[in-house]
Each structure stands twice: as C-alpha cells, then as structure tokens.
Structure 1
Amino acid sequence: MTEPERGIVFFDVDGTLVSTGSSSSHLAERFGHQDALDEAERRYADGSLTNRQVSEIDAAGWRGASTTTVDRWLDDLPVLPGVELVVAWCRTHQVVPVLASLAWQPVTRSLARRFGFVAHGGPRVGVTGGTYDGAVAEHFDEFDKRDRALRYALARGVPIERCCAIGDSRSDIPLFEVVPAALALNATGAARAAASTAIDTADLSDVVPWLETWLNSLD
C-alpha cells in the first residue's frame, strides 16, 4: 500500500533550479533572439513590462521551430548540482516535488522527465503540426502560478499547511505569501522579504536541512 503524501514542495525553475538564470534565455540563444529576450526579462524584473508582454516577445522567436528540436535543446539545460539528491530526498520522505514556474511548459516537462519532478502549469506556445507558431496559446503569470499550486494541493488532498515553496524572484512572491514556509534561494531583495528564510548557494542540496526542519515541524 502506498504511504500517504506528507507534503508538497513547490520549486521555481528560472534562477532557482536553472543555474544560468533563465531557461527562456537558454532557448532564445538558439532561436536567435536572446538579446531581445534578456532585455524584456530585465524590464519584467523592474516592473516596466508585464509577464504577458514578455511572453509575447519570447514566443514570437519560437516561430517555425519543431517541438522535437526544442526538446533536444532542453536536454542540456544547465541546472544547479544537487537536483537529483533533492528530488530523491523528497521521494524518500513522501514529499511531492512540484515545479511551479513561469517557464514554458516544454521546459518543465523536460525537467520533470530528467529529474522526477511533477510538472504543473506554465505558459504555452501554440503548436501546429509539430511546429511552434510563435503565438502564446496560454498565458501564465505569478498569480496563475500561485492559484495553480493551490489547486494542485487541493486535488492531491494535501492541506496548504503542509506545503512550502522555494524560489528566487518577483514571480514567487504571491505563492510565498500563501504557504506557511518559503525559502528564498539566491534571491532578489523582494523575494527575500516575502520568504521565511533565505540562503545563497551554488548547490541545491544545501536546501535539504531547511526541508528537513520544515517537514519535522509538520509532525
């Protein structure tokens, strides 16, 4: 008989798991619009562009690429060392490791396949006949991220009191504000202010002591 889930950890992707900061920038380099995308992401970070505007700028650069090509490019998306250890810790302790991110859905699917996360939510670029069409088929902002995480926990029968979140930036703040424990990892000042704890590290496995403390507090 499968043991019941003890809790859920929601992991951000860009700037948290992805060591280069942005999975979109990683892909945009290959598409050929990295400079435009990096500038758009800087403007999102300072509040002068919305998530919707950044997504539209980025999606346009995907036009004409095949889904198989993008999946292949994502196979070498760089992540922090220690990801495998953290996911293994979660699985051993009956904690569900869920990706809660504004990264495109192919990114979260790839990370879920590589490391064993649960992919849930994220924006989508439209696809026609196995080729991306350059339009945003589904927008997804920081409030969608929060709401989708809450719905996921409800669907799994896990109270929000048994959930925590790990992230680094503006897009994590709405989720940080509704979970009882939040870890700001290599984070901006605003994310640190919204979190219950903050650490800086080049190895994701350094979050395990914090996760152990959080899980022990539930018993």
Structure 2
Amino acid sequence: MPARFLVVFDADSTLLRNEVIELIADEAGRGAEVAAATEAAMRGEVDFAASLRSRVATLEGVPVASFARVLARVEPTPGARELIDAIHARGGVAAVVSGGFHEILDTVAPDLGVDVWRANRLSTTADALTGLVEGAIVDAAGKAAALREWAAAHGVPLCRTIAIGDGANDLQMMAVAGLGIAFNAKPAVRAQADLVIEAVDLRQVIPLLP
C-alpha cells in the first residue's frame, strides 16, 4: 500500500535542537573549535564532506561509552513528536537523512517514531573513535538521493514529498522535494526555500501536510 506522502527531515538543528557532533566534541574538549567549523559548513562556505572529515578527526580517542552522555543531552525540537504523529495520522512516512551519525540516530529516531533514517557512521577501534568516518559520507547529494529512494520505495510521487532543513547541505533535497521548507535556517537556505518557518516549533508544519 503506497504512502500518501513523505516528509524528510534533516536531523541536527532541525528535528533535533543540537548539533550532535558538537556534543561529541565536548567529550574531547574541542566543542568550540568544532562548533565554528560546523557553522561554516552549514552556511555553505566550505565543502561539507571535507569539513566533516576534518571535524571527525578531532574526535579521535573519544570513548564509545561517552555516547550515553551525549544521548542524554540530545533534545528533540519542540513539536517534533506532534508533527511525526500528525504525519502518521494522515497516512504519511516520516524519514530523517543526516550528515550526523547513526550512533545517535539509531536511538533517537525510533524513539521519536521516525520510520526510516540514514546517517554517517563513525569508525571505532578498541572502544574509542578513530577519527574517521566509515563508508561514503551523507552529503547534499546523498540527502537528495535518499529522498528519491524513499519516495520510490513508498510509492510517493516527488510532488507529494516535503523536505525540511536548516543548512546548505539540505538544499539539494529541498530542491528535489515537492515542498522545500527552511526551518531554523541559515540565510542561504532561507533564500532558496519554497517556504520559511521562523518559529522553532515543528508544529508549524502540521497545517502544510497533504
């Protein structure tokens, strides 16, 4: 049975209030440095994949056990649960594609009721981070590809898809979607989105659902 529509969220600073890589960097005492690099990447000033690799390199040696502390600090954006409940009530699919990490999303996404998600995966050895990313990086093109893939898998035409994001690496999936929403977004994203939501409350999206 095809879904009625598909909503694809970015994770960090969209579905979640935090930038998770900054929380992990705090565990290495590099939070401020990584936050500045993340901000530049989200504004589109640097190549996302190169920036992510350099930021993850600063995480080398962070114990995997510290993810429990990171998870305890992750906060869903206000209205996240209500919006996902509304998507399901109207026969839609809720998805997340993130330049962040499976190590966090694999706990947070199902707790919020997300149906499908994709993110980067951190390399580990001897119970600590190696400072490397495993496999291909989920970048702007990867996000757009995920939206197309999930739409096809659920029988949803692209005109009935919604993409919600805040950073430059969300622009390609927002362009592919039937409706691209800038949420809590950087100026470059606001300028190119179909719609801008000012309030940091995902319940604002509910009236826009098909």
| TM-score (ref. length: structure 1) | 0.85
Deviation, structure 1 residue 8: 0.6
1:119 Cα offset (Å) = 4.2
Structure 1 alignment gaps of length 5 or more = none
Per the TM alignment, residue 94 of structure 1 is displaced from its structure 2 partner at its CA by 1.4
User: 2:33: which partner in 1?
Assistant: 36
Q: 1:155 aligns with which of 139, 143, 153?
A: 153
Q: What one-letter code is carried by the residue in structure 1 that aligns with 2:159?
A: E
3-state DSSP class of the match of 1:87? helix
Q: Note the C-alpha offset of 1:169.
A: 2.0
**8 Å CA contact 2:44, 2:169 repeated in 1:** no
SS of corresponding position for 1:177: helix
Q: For residues 170-197 of structure 1, what are the alpha-carbon distances to aligned partners after superposition, in whole Å with 9 as ceiling and x for unaligned? A: 1111011111111111222221232211
Conserved? CA contact 2:9–2:95, under 8 Å? yes
Kept after mapping to 2: 8 A contact 1:122/1:145: no
SS of 1:103's equivalent?
strand
Equivalent in the alignment of 2:12: 14
In structure 1, the residue matched to 2:173 is 175
Q: Distance in 2 between matches of 1:46 and 1:196?
A: 18
Cα distance, 1:65 vs structure 2 = 3.5
> Displacement, 1:12?
1.0
Q: What is the CA RMSD across the aligned residues, in angstroms?
A: 2.0
2-structure distance, mates of 1:134, 1:7: 38
Q: With CA pairs under 8 Å and 6+ residues apart, which has the higher RCO, 1 or 2?
A: 2
Residue 161 of structure 1: how far off its partner (Å): 2.0
Q: CA deviation at 1:66?
A: 4.1
Deviation of the 1:166 alpha carbon: 1.1
- Corresponding residue for 1:189? 187
Change (3 A) 1:33 1:118: farther
Mapped to 1, the partners of 2:8 and 2:93 lie a distance apart of 8
Deviation (angstroms), 1:202 = 2.8
Distance in 2 (CA, whole Å) between partners of 1:179 and 1:47 is: 20
Q: Post-superposition shift, 1:46?
A: 4.4
Deviation per CA, 1:58-84: give whole Å up to 9, x if none: 222333334443145213302222111
1:77 aligns with 2:74: yes
* 2-structure distance, mates of 1:165, 1:48: 22
* Higher relative strand content: 2
Q: Is 1:109–1:119's contact at 8 Å kept on the other side of the alignment?
A: no
1:91 paired to 2:88: yes
2:201 corresponds in structure 1 to 203
**SS at the partner of 1:123?**
strand
Question: Contact between 1:10 and 1:149, CA under 8 Å: does it hold in 2?
Answer: yes
8 Å Cα contact 2:166-2:189 kept in structure 1: yes
Shift of the 209–47 alpha-carbon distance from structure 1 to 2, 3 Å rule, reads closer
Percentage identity across aligned positions? 25
Compute the displacement of 1:201 (Å). Answer: 0.9
* Partner Cα separation in structure 1 for residue 128 and residue 9 of structure 2: 29
Runs (5+) with no aligned partner, structure 2: none
Displacement, 1:29? 1.4
TM-score (norm 2): 0.88
Tell me the residue number matched to 1:146: 144
What displacement does 1:159 show? 2.1
CA contact (8 A) 2:67 2:104 kept: no
Distance 1:168 1:46 in 2: 9
Alignment partner of 2:86: what SS? helix
142-151 or 56-65, which moves further after superposition?
56-65
In the alignment, the residues of structure 1 paired with residue 45 and residue 179 of structure 2 have an alpha-carbon distance, to the nearest angstrom, of: 29
* Equivalent residue pairs, number: 209
